[in-house]
Amino acid sequence: MTAHILDGNALAKTLRANFRQEAEALASRGARPGLAVILVGENPASQVYVRNKVNACADAGFYSEKHVFPGDATQADVLAKIRALNADPAIHGILVQLPLPAQFDAEAVLDAIVAEKDVDGFRAENVGALVLGLPCFVPCTPRGAMRLLEEAGVDVAGKEAVIVGRSNIVGKPMAMLLMHAGATVTVCHSRTRDLAAHCRRADILVAAVGKPRFITGEMIKPGAVVIDVGINRLPDGKLCGDVDFDAARVVAGAITPVPGGVGPMTIAMLLANTLESARNSVQNGAGNNA
C-alpha cells in the first residue's frame, strides 16, 4: 500500500484563485481585503513565512503591508503600530509573526489587536467562540488541516482522531474542530504514557510536536490519514515534518508531505480569514477605499 499524497500546494493554489474573484468583488464595493503582517527581529524562518504570506496576498489580489521592526524594538513601538492598524479601514487582518523576541509579552501584544482583525484567531474571545461553536476566526493551521481532510474525502464523524501536541496554536484548536466534526478525540503530549499505543488507534493522526520524524511507521494504523503539521529544518538545510514520511507512506492511507502539505494551507486559510473579515466590514458598513 502507498498512501495518497494530500497536495497542499495544489489545493492552496486553487483556493487562491477563488479568493481572487471574491477579492475583486469586494474591491468593487470599496473593501479590497487587506492584511498587515508585523515581523520583529531577524529569525530566518519567520522571514520566509512572512514573505510567503505577502506573496500569497499579491497572488490573490489582496492588499498587504509588511511592518518590520529590529530585534531590539520595544513593545511600545509595536503596540503603537498595532493601534494604528486597528484604526486603519484598509486593513482587515493583523498578524504578528510569532515567536516574538524574549523582551516581549506576546500575550499582551496579541491582545492589542482588535478582535475583528484577529485573523490568526489567537485572542481569548476567538478561542472561546471556537470552543462554543460560535462564529469566529478559526486558527489558520488547524483550519488548513481540516480542509485537507475534507479534500481527502474523510468522513470525520465517528472516527478515532489522535492529536500529538497540545499547543494553543495547533493542538487545542485542532481538537475542538475534530470534536465538532464528530470525531472521538484524544490529545497526546510529552507526558503521555505509551504514546505509540494511542497513535496506533488513530484513524486520523495529527502530528504537531515540533520534533523531526518523531512519528514512526510503527505508530501508524494501516490506512490511517496522517496530517503532519511539523516544519523542522535539518542540519543539511532540508525541511522535514514530525512524521517519518518514507516509513509512513507505506502504512498510511493518506498523508500530507512536508513541505507542500499543511504549510501552504496555513497561508491559504490566513487569506480566507482576511477575506471573511473584509466581508464583515462591508456588512457593518465600514469598507475602505483601497
Ligand X SMILES: Nc1nc(=O)c2c([nH]1)NC[C@@H]1CN(c3ccc(C(=O)N[C@@H](CCC(=O)O)C(=O)O)cc3)C=[N+]21
Binding residue numbers for NADP(+): 165-167, 231
- β-pair partners for 205: 162, 226
Calpha distance 66→36 (Å, rounded)? 6
Residue from 11, 95, 113, 271 binding ligand X (CB under 6 A) = 95
Yes or no: say if 192 and 202 are a contact pair by the CB < 8 Å rule. Answer: no
Indicate whether 68 belongs to the interface with ligand X (CB under 6 A). Answer: no
Indicate whether 49 belongs to the interface with ligand X (CB under 6 A). Answer: yes
Calpha distance 208→229 (Å, rounded)? 5
Indicate whether 281 belongs to the interface with ligand X (CB under 6 A). Answer: no
Q: Which is it for strands 93-96 and 225-228: parallel, antiparallel or unpaired?
A: unpaired
Calpha distance 75→158 (Å, rounded)? 46
Dihedral in degrees, nearest 10, Cα atoms 123, 124, 130, 134: -100
Options 120, 228, 242, 244, the catalytic residue: 120
Residue nearest to Mg ion (CB): 165
For the bound state, the minimum distance from the C-beta of residue 39 to ligand X, rounded and expressed in Å, comes to: 10
Indicate whether 73 belongs to the interface with ligand X (CB under 6 A). Answer: no
Please give the residues from 1 up to 20 whose contact with ligand X meets the rule CB under 6 A: none
Calpha distance 209→49 (Å, rounded)? 19
Residue from 260, 280, 282, 290 binding ligand X (CB under 6 A) = 260
Calpha distance 70→39 (Å, rounded)? 9
For the bound state, the minimum distance from the C-beta of residue 175 to ligand X, rounded and expressed in Å, comes to: 18
Phi-psi region of 118 (alpha: psi -120 to 50; beta: other; left: phi over 0): beta
Yes or no: say if 219 and 195 are a contact pair by the CB < 8 Å rule. Answer: yes
Q: Select from ligand X, Mg ion, none the partner in contact with residue 130, using the beta carbon and a kind-dependent cut-off of 5 to 8 Å.
A: none
Of 37 and 174, which has the nearer Cβ to Mg ion? 174
Residue 98, classified by CB atoms within 10 Å of its CB into exposed (0-12), middle (13-18) or buried (19+), is: middle
Indicate whether 142 belongs to the interface with Mg ion (CB under 5 A). Answer: no
Q: Segment contacting ligand X (CB under 6 A): 94-102, 194-202, 243-251, 278-286?
A: 94-102
Instruction: Give the list of residues 6+ apart from residue 248 with CB closer than 8 angstroms, or none.
Output: 3, 215, 216, 217, 220, 226, 255
Residue from 54, 57, 97, 145 binding ligand X (CB under 6 A) = 97
The set of cell numbers assigned to 219 is: 505508530
Catalytic site includes residue 120: yes
Q: Select from ligand X, Mg ion, none the partner in contact with residue 98, using the beta carbon and a kind-dependent cut-off of 5 to 8 Å.
A: ligand X
Calpha distance 255→165 (Å, rounded)? 18
Catalytic site includes residue 72: no
Options 97, 118, 159, 221, the catalytic residue: 97
Q: Select from Mg ion, ligand X, none the partner in contact with residue 167, using the beta carbon and a kind-dependent cut-off of 5 to 8 Å.
A: Mg ion
Residues binding ligand X: what is the number (CB under 6 A)?
A: 18
For the bound state, the minimum distance from the C-beta of residue 46 to ligand X, rounded and expressed in Å, comes to: 7
Indicate whether 185 belongs to the interface with Mg ion (CB under 5 A). Answer: no
Indicate whether 264 belongs to the interface with ligand X (CB under 6 A). Answer: yes
Catalytic site includes residue 283: no
Residues recognised as catalytic: 53, 97, 120
Residues that bind Mg ion (CB under 5 A): 165, 167, 170-171, 208
Residues that bind ligand X (CB under 6 A): 48-49, 52, 95-98, 120, 140, 231, 239, 258-260, 263-264, 266-267
